[in-house]
A and B are shown apart, each in its own frame.
Chain A
């Protein structure tokens, strides 16, 4: 098991070295002369767009998860209500005691 673990480590080290090399090449190739100010402006549908308008709300990457059928009910039972939180604990106690009595 130790040999397999170390093999994975060395493989990862080699991959990390390749990625680092590619990144250096990418960074070096990105250096280009500065664009004139007019060319640096961004237009959307004929009008100039501000950086704020071009933003994708990154904090909402996985917002579709909120529509996913499992996480909706799960989120409702994690809403911060103390009674719901205590219900979780009591449900756990009931499961443990039932298992203990039946399987001991």
Chain B
């Protein structure tokens, strides 16, 4: 069976190639090519929904080579939901960037297309080596995108991102090499079958290396330092992609590898739980004291990833559903907040909250969108963040009530720093002459669409819960192995 959503990978690669060709003729056509590529990819992702909707996974082999010798492409509710999420955020980013990026557009859009190609590759691969290859593709594209402004802070952040990112992918590759040495295979389903009767300490070492490598991509404390400077220095639409998607891609890879290859051992749950608790608290406390809007949002991303890790680390089915639901919600919320921050930075020319006080003549759409993002991030009812956080609180209450209380306190801290940023930017006393904000249509569309999705999922939470339940089904090792026909 042909898995349509996998065509997003060649579609984005072709888009990057066409962008470079088109830019040789006329640079102003580049955003249209990029947006067309994103729309085609969204179409491929949506086409795959009926293929996996009954909860049945779909796999295909490249060039008719049977597993485990050929390359396996895999899709289930988990990967297709993430593919749809990536497609939506990618399209919004392409549209938003068309007015945000005014120079060297071809390089920017080509790198962005390669970044998305890498993400789609990660969610579709059924092979641990290709997981590394696609992660490396998205990492290399992100190094270039962070350095894109070509100023001192962007170059410094990019070099730090490169060094720490390379450390992560090196550890991942070492883990994959260990696995290959142990099992003689790179196919995930085949490795799962061969590892099932093995109790060698080398298995633990390989899992530890892979978990660390992917943990760096996910941005969990103590691996969160990868993202902080990168999110702050990158062009804001790129920060939106990194915060909304890259961390989730890392978490997806952790879950896929842990559940399918290693049947999620107790030690991995404990690591996720405790790293998650530290991420949740540390991210929120440090966000509270930031005076840079983008850095504050970067720390809030660390805190939200912590919520997801805690929920999964609880080891219950309710916790897994809550974590996966929050993964989707967090992507939409972080995307919206970073796009709002992008619009603010675009007009005020600064992300410093001390200088932003009253710097903008309030724009209703921008201020409402930011407020919706803040309220959703803090888990206020009627917004999507509430529905997923409610499930996380309930799951934590079943295991340890103190954890549930801690999660509520962290949500309150989230509201405190979110409202601080909102009040400074949109109702602060002006320090000088305020800039008139006239949002172009290309900035309005992503804000309206993401805010609408946040409210729709918030008001109709059973849709999200249903999808999260189906996503959780994708982490069943037995059905995965059966589908790949090992």
Q: List chain A residues, Cβ under 8 A from B203.
A: 104
Interchain CA distance A104-B428 in the complex, whole Å: 54
Q: List chain A residues, Cβ under 8 A from B387.
A: 5
Nearest B residue to A84 via CB reads: B225
Q: Which of A5, A57, A82, A104 contacts B357 (CB 8 A)?
A: A57
Q: Which of A5, A58, A85, A91 contacts B423 (CB 8 A)?
A: A58
Residues A96 and B216 in contact in the complex (CB < 8 Å), given A59-B424, A65-B288? no
What is the size, in residues, of chain B's interface with A at 8 Å between Cβ atoms? Answer: 64
Residues A97 and B382 in contact in the complex (CB < 8 Å), given A103-B266, A104-B267? no
Q: Of B38-46, B95-103, B139-147, B457-465, which stretch is located at the interface?
A: B457-465
Contact (Cβ within 8 A) A9 B225: no
Contact (Cβ within 8 A) B223 A97: no
Is A86 located at the chain interface by the 8 A CB criterion? yes
Q: Which of A66, A71, A88, A97 contacts B225 (CB 8 A)?
A: A88
Is B470 located at the chain interface by the 8 A CB criterion? no
Is A36 located at the chain interface by the 8 A CB criterion? no
Q: Of B53-61, B159-167, B243-251, B439-447, which stretch is located at the interface?
A: B159-167
Q: Is the interface of A mostly helix, strand, loop or mixed?
A: helix
Contact (Cβ within 8 A) B391 A59: no
Is A26 located at the chain interface by the 8 A CB criterion? no
Mark each residue of chain B from 284 to 311: 1 if its CB lies under 8 Å from any CB of chain A, else 0. Answer: 0110110100000000000000000000
Mark each residue of chain A from 61 to 95: 1 if its CB lies under 8 Å from any CB of chain B, else 0. Answer: 11101100011001100101010111011011101
Would you give the shortest CB distance from A74 to chain B, in whole angstroms? 6
Would you give the shortest CB distance from B6 to chain A, in whole angstroms? 32
Nearest A residue to B157 via CB reads: A80
Q: List chain B residues, Cβ under 8 A from A104.
A: 201, 203-204, 265, 267
Interchain CA distance A10-B456 in the complex, whole Å: 15
Q: Is the interface of B mostly helix, strand, loop or mixed?
A: helix
Contact (Cβ within 8 A) A62 B423: no
Interchain CA distance A12-B458 in the complex, whole Å: 11
Say which size band chain A's interface belongs to. Answer: 35 or more
Q: List chain B residues, Cβ under 8 A from A93.
A: 171, 208, 212
Q: Which of B168, B212, B357 contacts A58 (CB 8 A)?
A: B357
Chain B contacts with A in 44-80, Cβ cutoff 8 A: none
Chain B contacts with A in 255-269, Cβ cutoff 8 A: 265-267
Q: List chain B residues, Cβ under 8 A from A49.
A: none
Contact (Cβ within 8 A) A5 B212: no
Interchain CA distance A54-B428 in the complex, whole Å: 12
Contact (Cβ within 8 A) B423 A74: no
Would you give the shortest CB distance from B111 to chain A, in whole angstroms? 23
Interchain CA distance A82-B429 in the complex, whole Å: 37
Binding site for B on A (CB under 8 A): 1-2, 4-6, 8-9, 11-13, 16, 51-52, 54-63, 65-66, 70-71, 74-75, 78, 80, 82, 84-86, 88-89, 91-93, 95-97, 99-101, 103-104
Sample of 5 A–B contacts (CB below 8 Å): A55-B357, A59-B353, A88-B224, A88-B225, A89-B226
